[in-house]
Amino acid sequence: MPTYDWHSKRVFVTGATGLVGAWLVKELVRQGAYCVVLMHDCDPQSELIRSGTLDEVTVVNGALENFNSLERAINEQEIQTVFHLGAQPIVSVAHRNPLPTFETNIRGTYNLLEACRIHNSMVKSVIIASSDKAYGESAILPYTEDMPLAGKHPYEVTKSCTDLIAQSYAHTYNLPIAIARCGNIFGGGDLNWSRIIPGVIRSFLRGESPIIRSDGTYIRDYIYVEDVALAYLTLAEWMTSKIAGQGFNFSPERPLTVLELTNMIAKVMRTENIKPTILNQACGEIKSQYLDSTKALEQLDWKPKFTIEAGLEKTVEWYRDFFSKQTNQSTMQLYGRK
């Protein structure tokens, strides 16, 4: 790992109110970076806000679909490093109504990269958050970086496009871009209850049977959010002409079925007596997806710091605290206290 000092580096983060964005910004602030975040909607339950990190960053109000907002942020804030995490991240949302997801994920990406191209004398590195979904469905697993990007369903297609647009700007305009492809990211702060891990944890905390939309045999990679944030930082720290324009898989290389993951959460929470409800209604989703991260280990010296079990322990602890505070606030409101 090269020696790198984030102190006073000027950084722009899209998607900062999302799961990974909040943890990434917290780490950047901890290391002394000057952070600028793009904010469209202000969700008071976002970890960025709940943790108090928002008070330590500069906020630019705007949307990824608005080129002028992005160009102004990069120019006026004299940005050196860009982390592009902003996206519509829910597969089922994209499946029900694809147009807004196409607009945010695809238009948002080329808007941002065009702004970086215009100001390439300032911007020294751009990290793009892609996904294992960019590969689409494959009979050969695990995915390796030399496999084609072939998404078919709406969300997958947006990630394939994001990835290819980033490669185009890197190879055509020599922009210093690197691409991160992760599997299913989990950790404290994810309030999208349709996702398997927060949904299952919430159900177990309520003493309810967790709902599994698929038949339970779908296989996925699961990677803890702090490992992902450090992976993005690693890409920026290693940015050279040798990795520019390349994609890197990041994975603990331990694929699990949905049922195996649910049982793992139950073990962590000691709720093995509560059995899941299997709906078998999933649509527009790939059956099996998992990644090979040999390239990241060999070229970036990256490997996860957390096992899946350790990540789940920290995640469950976060949700226990989250719901405990919600209960306390409700009690105080009931008795007229502030």
Tell me the catalytic residues.
155
Question: SS3 sequence, the chain?
Answer: CCCCCCCCCEEEEECCCCHHHHHHHHHHHHCCCEEEEEECCCCCCCHHHHCCHHHHCEEEECCCCCHHHHHHHHHHCCCCEEEECCCCCCHHHHHHCHHHHHHHHHHHHHHHHHHHHHCCCCCCEEEEECCHHHHCCCCCCCECCCCCCCCCCHHHHHHHHHHHHHHHHHHHHCCCEEEEEECEEECCCCCCCCCHHHHHHHHHHCCCCCEECCCCCCEECEEEHHHHHHHHHHHHHCCCCCCCCEEEEECCCCCEEHHHHHHHHHHHHCCCCCCCEECCCCCCCCCECCECCHHHHHHHCCCCCCCHHHHHHHHHHHHHHHHHHHHHHHHHHHCCCC
Tokens found for residue 111:
């808007």
- How is residue 160 written in tokens? 């394939």
CB atoms within 10 A of CB 189: 25
Of the candidates 182, 311, 204, which has an alpha carbon nearest to the alpha carbon of residue 250? 182
* Tokens standing for residue 208: 């309810």
Encode burial over 252-263: b for 16+ CB neighbours within 10 A, e otherwise: bbebbbbbbbbe
User: Which residues neighbour 121 within 8 Å (Cβ) at sequence distance 6 or greater?
Assistant: none
**Cα(33)–Cα(10) distance, rounded to whole angstroms?**
6
